[in-house]
Amino acid sequence: MRTSVLLFVAGLCVLNGISSLKICAFNVQSFGESKANNKRVMGMLLKILSRCDVCLIQEVRDSKGEAVQALVKDLNSRFDKSNSYSYVESERLGRKTYKEQYVFIYRSNVLKVKEHYQYPKQEGDGSNETATFSREPFIVRFHSPTTLVKDFVLIGHHTCPRNAMKEIDQLYTVFKGIHKKWKTDNVMILGDLNAGCSYVTIKGWRAVRLRSDPKFLWLIGDEQDTTVRERTHCAYDRIIVHGREIISCIVPGSAQPFNFKENFHLTEEEALEVSDHFPVEVDLKPNHRYLLRNEL
């Protein structure tokens, strides 16, 4: 009897210390060799990324592939030894000489990558100007034993500003294809969608299927500000969720931009060295039974 009570008390202590799973998306603004060699910028990026269990980083511009490797190496060896980090990356994407990559950096002791998929080019009539996406979405399916929702898909995307509304609408088609391919409803679309200010219109929103279909929940609202500059107030970066199971697992109030300028007491100039965007994030509820069973 005494042993049972002690186990119960220990279990309560464990539960009190259990955290949710944090999913983030961050446009790091031209992340490459220059930023990787800037110790102050890398220090800030490590602080930001170590808050997340998985983070989609965008605008990776490093053709050698060394900047992301250095970032993940520092996360593992210097900054956060309590977790092990890995990453999965897209192809280098872009219509002309300008290329970007999507990279998901994740805690491999918490999440497992089941599969990933590079959305194929849709060339229209074959010209660069009629292609559906400037940078095709990168899609990863994760297994998450510590959360109530066990499997979910993250669709990462960075729209071209001048075609933002068209690309956001086409993400509906991407979702439908993934739903058919992997037979799952639990999907999250995230990234810098340029879904605010001059790149969108009220009239244009009516034609965007992700907005008109009530099954999609927009977690970052139009009134939010995901930009670093004080003179701008735009909800460029978004998180959109589909699926009753994953929606029911979202921690209320957790979806928001992370203002690293205020949190780390930076000037605007210092913050802009890191990026002109704030990351956006959301938490998923933990599976207390699983965590308690594995802790005790």
> What is the set of active-site residues?
100, 158
Contact assessment for residue 17 and residue 47, using Cβ atoms and an 8 Å cutoff: no
Single-letter amino acid code for the residue at 29: Q
Cα torsion 59, 109, 155, 98 to 10°: value is: 20
- Written as six digits, the tokens of 262 are 């205020």
Residues composing the chain? 296
Q: What whole-number distance in Å separates Cα of residue 195 and Cα of residue 245? A: 26
Beta bridge partners of 12: none
Helical spans, DSSP H, in the chain = 2-17, 33-36, 39-49, 66-74, 164-182, 202-205, 209-212, 244-248, 260-263, 268-274, 288-295
Main-chain dihedrals φ then ψ at residue 19, nearest 5 degrees = -110, 160
Main-chain dihedrals φ then ψ at residue 208, nearest 5 degrees = -85, 115
Q: Is 227 helix (H, G, I), strand (E, B) or coil?
A: strand
The gap from C-alpha 19 to its chain's centroid, in whole angstroms, comes to 18
Beta bridge partners of 31: 60
- Written as six digits, the tokens of 126 are 């074959």
Q: What whole-number distance in Å separates Cα of residue 248 and Cα of residue 39? A: 40
From the list 126, 127, 194, the residue with the least C-alpha distance to 161 is 194
